[in-house]
Amino acid sequence: MFRYIVRRVLISIPVLIVASFLCFCLVTAMGDPLGNWKTAKPRSPGAVAAETHLIGYDKPFFARYGNWAVNFVEGDWNRDVTPGSDLAPVKSSVLDALWVTIKLVLAAEVLAIIIGVVIGVVGAVRQYSIFDYSITGVAFTLFSMPLFCIAIMIKAGGIQFNNWLQSLGSSTRWITTSGPPPGGFQGSFGTQFFQYTGAYILPVISLLCIEFALYSRFQRGSMLDVLNADYVRTAQAKGLSNARVILRHAFRNALIPVITVSALNVGALFSGAIITETVFGWQGMGVLIVKSVSNIEPWMVLGWLMVTATFIILFNLIADIIYAFLDPRIRLD
């Protein structure tokens, strides 16, 4: 097992190198990072040369990449390049954004797995019941809606809810639809709790909608497979109670696919929370990458890539390990 993990980690290093180089090519292909700055108003050749030198764009293509790679390994992730952005360091920007996204995604993901698994199991055990049909319908409808529409509707709903609260005589607007409060969460425990729930509830619900639908479908499918398996019939034939058969014999085995899917999904979610963050105004990873791409920020994009790629590779590995752990027949080596 240990050797397998080491090998997987070693294999992923060339993937990271190639990915970062390709990404660098792509960002270079987007054009000149100083393009907007140059066209905004006439600049003297001296100022252009100074600015180009400042962001390291006076060096040739390969030298720029090599420079970045060496510095990155040493822990210097370079800086913002857009003039006037006070050259914020990439490392702190990316890690701050990561922390915002982790908090958002983690809450939604845990809830989604629990709700999805429970609904999937009940749907499979009571197949073709009214509950099963309605949950299937809800899941299919959620799948078929663009995530941003769900988010926009939930946001509109939140505003309506606030208006309703105010009409009841409440003085504060509980739900915030534009990210965490500007000064951060402050005050007594009660106030902070109030602020946290108000800020998180809408984005978490909108992430939850998509994710739980996915997990419930997977759980329902795998549970049906397991319930039709011979060993479940054997367990029933032995005279075990229905609850025991379902919980001890079927459920544990039916969990395997969902856990794998969710581990793979968590990695992807760090880049996939773009829509939710955009709609609800959270300064997370999704908003950061969209901003970096539209401003042509080569180092920001590369820093972002390295962090998300590490997460994706890590969770892929975790998925495989969990898989082997839950199903001893699978050998990793």
Partner 1 sequence: MAAEAAQASTGTVDLTSTGFDATKARRQSTVIIKRFLRHRLAMISLVVFVVLVLFAFIGGALWKYSYSYEDTTGGGRYLPPTIDHPFGTDSLAADSLSQVLRGTQFSLLIALVVAFLSTALGVVLGSIAGFYRGWVDNVLSRFVDLVLVIPTVVLAGVLARSTQGNWYFIALFLGLTSWMSIARVIRGMVLSLREKEFVEAARALGGSAPRLIFRHILPNTLDVIIVNATLAVSQAVLAEAALSFIGLGVHPPDTSLGLLINKNQNEITLHPWLFWFPFVFIVLISLTVNFIGDGLRDAFDPRQKRVRA
Binding site for partner 1 (CB under 8 A): 11-12, 14-16, 18-19, 22-23, 26-27, 29-31, 124-125, 127-128, 140-141, 143-149, 152-153, 156, 159, 221, 224-225, 227-228, 233, 242, 271, 274-275, 278, 289-290, 293-294, 301, 304-305, 308-309, 312-313
What distance in Å separates the CA atoms of residue 309 and residue 19, rounded to the nearest whole number? 9
Residue type, 17: I
Q: Which is nearer to partner 1, 207 or 313 (CB)?
A: 313
Q: Which is nearer to partner 1, 195 or 263 (CB)?
A: 263
Name the nearest CA neighbour of 216 among 257, 167, 159. 257
Residues 6+ apart with CB under 8 A from 276: 104, 147, 151, 203, 206, 207, 282, 286
CA angle at residue 313 from 294 to 145, to 5 degrees? Answer: 55
User: Shortest approach of partner 1 to residue 183 CB, angstroms?
Assistant: 26
Q: Which is nearer to partner 1, 54 or 293 (CB)?
A: 293
User: Shortest approach of partner 1 to residue 187 CB, angstroms?
Assistant: 31
Tokens of 30: 């987007």
Question: Which residue has tokens 């590995």?
Answer: 317
Q: Which is nearer to partner 1, 152 or 324 (CB)?
A: 152
User: Shortest approach of partner 1 to residue 7 CB, angstroms?
Assistant: 13
- Asked whether the beta carbons of 275 and 286 are under 8 A apart, the reply is yes
User: Shortest approach of partner 1 to residue 313 CB, angstroms?
Assistant: 7
Q: Which is nearer to partner 1, 18 or 106 (CB)?
A: 18
